[in-house]
Amino acid sequence: MEYVAVILPSLGVGVLFYFAMKAIFNADRSERDALAQAERESKANAEHPPQ
């Protein structure tokens, strides 16, 4: 049982680190997708301006 008490804090920190990194990467991916979409719309409006 003492082995669990020794390893549990490290596992807890590892799990927290995993979820924090996952959230950061998902936010980065979403931001890149939004920027790419805005750039596509900007190029489309530049080529065919509204009349």
Half-sphere exposure of 38 (CA within 13 A, CB side): 6
What do you get for the CA distance between the two ends of the chain, in Å? 75
- Give pLDDT tens digits along the chain (51 positions): 899 999 999 999 999 999 999 999 999 999 999 999 999 999 988 887 666
Predicted TM-score (pTM) of this structure: 0.72
